[in-house]
Amino acid sequence: MIVWKAHVGKIESMAFAADGQLLATATGGTRTVHLWEPNSGKLVRKLTGNWPDGRTLGTVKAVVFAPGAPLLAAATDRSVTVWRTDTWELAADLSGSYAHELAFGPGEAPMLAAAESRDTAIWHNAAQPTGDKTRPHDYACGPRGGVAVLDFSPDGKLLAASNCHHAGLWNPATGGRVRQLNRPSGNHRGAIRFSPDGSVVALARGKYVELWPIMGGDQPTSTIVAGTGRHPAIWALGWTAGGQVLMTAGADGFVRNWDVSTGKELRSFAWGLGKVYCAAFSPDGLTCAAGGESGQVVVWDVDA
Percent with pLDDT over 70 in the chain: 86
Average pLDDT value over all residues in the chain: 86
Question: 188: which DSSP letter?
Answer: -
Question: 164: which DSSP letter?
Answer: S
Q: What is the pLDDT of residues 63-120, one digit of tens each?
A: 999 999 999 999 988 788 999 999 999 888 876 667 888 999 999 989 998 887 666 7
Domain ranges across the chain: 6-231
Domain 6-231: which CATH number of 1.10.150.650, 2.130.10.10, 3.30.450.20, 3.65.10.10: 2.130.10.10
What band does 2 get if pLDDT is binned at 50, 70 and 90?
A: very high
Task: Look at residue 88 in the predicted model and tell me its pLDDT.
Answer: 93
Judge whether residue 136 has pLDDT over 70. Answer: no
**Average pLDDT of span 187-203:** 87
Q: What is the pLDDT of residues 204-217, one digit of tens each?
A: 988 999 999 998 77
DSSP letters of 37-92?
-TTT--EEEEE----TTS-----EEEEEE-SSSSEEEEEESS-EEEEETTT--EEE
Answer whether 38's CB lies under 8 Å from 86's CB: no
- Going through 109-221 in order, the beta strands assigned E by DSSP cover 112-116, 120-123, 134-137, 149-152, 159-162, 167-170, 177-180, 191-194, 200-205, 208-213
**Average pLDDT of span 4-24:** 93
Beta strands at 191-194 and 177-180: parallel, antiparallel or unpaired: unpaired
Which of 108, 82, 287, 113 lies closest to 192, judged by CA? 113
Report the distance separating Cα 226 and Cα 121, nearest Å: 31
Task: Look at residue 155 in the predicted model and tell me its pLDDT.
Answer: 97
Judge whether residue 198 has pLDDT over 90. Answer: yes
Which of 210, 207, 186 lies closest to 260, judged by CA? 210
Report the distance separating Cα 29 and Cα 37, nearest Å: 23
Q: What is the pLDDT of residues 20-53, one digit of tens each?
A: 999 999 987 788 999 999 999 999 999 987 666 6
pTM for the predicted model, two decimal places: 0.90
> Alpha carbon of 114 to those of 10, 40, 101, 203: distances in Å?
22, 31, 6, 18
